[in-house]
Amino acid sequence: MRPALICSALLLLFAQSLPSPALAARVALPPEQVQLDALTRDTQKHGLGSGSMEVVWWIPPEYWQVAVTQQKGATPEMLAGLGQTFNDYNIVAVVQATMAEDLEYRFTPEADVRESTVLIDPQGHTHAVLAEDKVPTRLASTLAFLKPILANGIGPMGRSMYFLVFPGNDARGNRLIDPLGDGLAQVRTTNKRHDFRLPLGSLLPDKRDAATGESFPGDFMYNPYTGRSLDVSRP
C-alpha cells in the first residue's frame, strides 16, 4: 500500500492540534518522529491462500494524525478537522480476491466484504461494520474522496479496496482499541483472522539494553537474546 497517496489527498480536504487519545500510561513519539513506513507495516496484514489473497489495513486515528502531520503544508486547522472526522472511529480497509481459471484475480464485491468482516477488540467483543446511514457525512465524504486516489495509484486493487467504518468508543466513551494499550485487536474476514498485537511499537520510542547498548522496538519489554529488561532510549 502507498500511504503517501492518502496523505497528499487528505491535505486537500482539511484546511489546534488533533486531540491526543488516552495513552494507557505510555508516552507516544511526537507524530513528526514516527516512521510512517513502520506504522504502515504495524497496521497492515496480508493473507495468501490457495487461489486467494487479501489485504487488511486497520487505520486508527493516530495513523491519520501522523500521516498528515508529516506532509508539507499541514496546518493546525487541518489537524483539527482531521480529529473531528476520525477520532471516534476505527477504519479498516479491505481488499479480497480469488484467482479464476484464467489465472486472473476476481475481486470480492463490497457487499460481501462488508458482511463478512468484523472487528474484535482486546476485551473480546465483536463489532460489525457500521451501516452506511450511521456514518457521519463528513467521514463518508472523506473516504469517498480517497477511493479514486487509490484507484489511480494502485490500479484494480485500489478500485476494489473498501473502507469499512467501525465504532471507536464504547457506550461510556472509552476507546475500544488503544494503539498504545495492551492486548490483541483482531480483524476477522471470511478467509482469515488478522491479529494486531498492542501496543504498536512504531508509535513508541525505541527501547535500549543498558548493558549491551542494543536498541529494540518500543513494544519490546526484554532483550530477546539475553532476557534483560529494557529501558526507553534517551537521546
**Is the CB of residue 14 less than 8 Å from the CB of residue 81?**
yes
Is the pLDDT confidence value at 1 over 70?
no
Q: pLDDT per residue over 130-139, tens digit each?
A: 999 999 999 9
**Residues 97, 44 within the same domain:** yes
Lowest-pLDDT range of 18-22, 141-145, 194-198: 18-22
**Residues 146, 188 within the same domain:** yes
**Residues 162, 136 within the same domain:** yes
Domain extent for 33: 3-204
**Residues 234, 182 within the same domain:** no
**Is the CB of residue 119 less than 8 Å from the CB of residue 187?**
yes
pLDDT at residue 102 in the model: 76
**Residues 213, 159 within the same domain:** no
User: Looking up cell 500521516, which residue turns up?
Assistant: 67
pLDDT at residue 5 in the model: 57
**Residues 214, 235 within the same domain:** yes
Lowest-pLDDT range of 9-23, 92-106, 154-168: 9-23
**Residues 11, 52 within the same domain:** yes
At residue 137's C-alpha, the angle toward residues 69 and 149, to 5°, is: 55
**Residues 136, 100 within the same domain:** yes
pTM over 0.85? The answer is no
pLDDT at residue 159 in the model: 84
**Residues 235, 169 within the same domain:** no
Q: pLDDT per residue over 32-81, tens digit each?
A: 999 999 999 999 999 877 788 899 999 999 999 999 899 888 888 888 88
